[in-house]
Amino acid sequence: MGAAVIGGGFFAARAGSVWGRTAVRYGVTALAILLFLLTLRRSGERVGRLAERLEIMEKTNIAQRRMLEAAARRPSSRDDLAERLRNGRF
């Protein structure tokens, strides 16, 4: 507990002077800017991950759409398949 009081007294004495208040002001400003930049970096990483997920979902949707279109064009019976093979339209 004694060390905390000594440390608190140190900062109180420094903050009491004009130079101390200026140093504290610059320190708080620098800390705020640092936290802001870290927040920007973190949100940028999150946006990048979301963009990657969106790209993967788009590719998946394209593949699923192609499969559904192919299924819609398939022959409905074995006879239709044989007819398409004979005509060369498969």
pLDDT (tens digit per residue) in 25-59: 999 999 999 999 999 999 999 999 999 999 999 99
Query: How many Å apart are CA 21 and CA 29, to the nearest integer?
Result: 12
Query: How many Å apart are CA 79 and CA 85, to the nearest integer?
Result: 10
Q: Are 36 and 30 in contact (CB under 8 A)?
A: no
Token pair 């620098």 in the structure block, residue: 30
For 79, the token pair is 């006879």
Region at 88 (left for phi over 0; alpha for psi -120 to 50; beta for the rest): left
Side-chain half-sphere CA neighbours of 70 within 13 A: 7
pLDDT confidence of residue 38: 94
pTM of the predicted structure, to 2 decimals? 0.51
In total, how many domains does the chain have? 1
pLDDT band, very low/low/confident/very high, at 19 (cuts 50, 70, 90): confident
Q: Is the pLDDT of residue 88 over 90?
A: no
Range of the domain at 55: 2-87
